[in-house]
Amino acid sequence: MGMSINTNVGAMIALQNLNRSNDQLEKTQLHITTGLKVNGPKDDASTYAIAQRMRGDIAGMQAVKTALAAGESTLNVAITAGKAISDMLTEMKAKAVQANQAGLDTASRVALSDDFTSLRDQLETIVQTAEFNGKNLITTGASALTVLSTVDGSTISVTPQVMNATALGLDTSTLADASGAATALTSIDAAINSVTSSLASLGSSAKRIEVQTDFTVQLVDILKEGVGNLVDADLAEESASLQALQIKQQLGVQALSIANSGPQSILSLFGG
């Protein structure tokens, strides 16, 4: 093609290459700024779609983690209360054993009876305050605790274990006389066995929730790692690319300048 001031092919090519370098530089800067090589469907439609589905799974798992944590806390409160009740029953048994000794004087029996009643009242207080997030698993009328365990809606059901004085058969126990003390001792032994069994049941459920929680946490970590492998940018690679593109951009500007100066040589053809 002959020389022309209307169509500068060299400048057009230089400008195309410069624009291409600018686009690549802009993408690289975005990758470095966000830390992602796939910021949207324009970057890589299929990878973006896969990553979004995985992010949805992660969000669901996070909700399950929250539900499991709440369930675990509710159970821990019940177990802690149950252990305190078990200790209280041990003290009550000691009082009942003392009250069953022969020849106990009236003053001592009254003192033991008062202590026994006080411990039973404290047991009731523990039962009434063993509540988390409005849920009490050891009081009268307690309903089963249902804990979400998977994203598909599966649940872990925890059976309530009532531990108040009435349920344990201690509401009418007394150490006021020898006959009552003997009956109370038998009732306390039965109550200790009952609380021990209840704690074992609660502990089993707590362990199940703990295992599910650990699994869910590990699964979330694996999914996050998977998303990272798909969309995270290699910052070392991007840094090297950034420097190369900056140099390429500068060379493109110079090439465009050279190409634009070409038509100036036409003036020499018309020199005097």
CA distance 199 to 82: 6
CA distance 173 to 112: 13
Binning pLDDT at 50, 70 and 90, where does residue 152 land?
A: very high
In this prediction, residue 21 carries a pLDDT of 80
Provide the CATH topology of domain 45-230.
f41 fragment of flagellin, N-terminal domain (1.20.1330)
The separation between the first and the last C-alpha atoms of the chain, rounded to the nearest angstrom, is 26
What confidence score (pLDDT) does residue 6 get?
Answer: 66
Query: Mind listing the pLDDT tens digit for each residue in 205-257?
Result: 999 999 999 999 999 999 999 999 998 887 788 788 878 878 888 887 887 78
pLDDT, residue 40, reads 85
Domain range list for the chain: 45-230, 234-272
- Check if the beta carbon of residue 145 is closer than 8 Å to that of residue 137: yes
Beta bridge partners of 155: 148
Task: Give how far Cα 151 sits from Cα of 208, 220, 239, Å.
Answer: 17, 12, 39
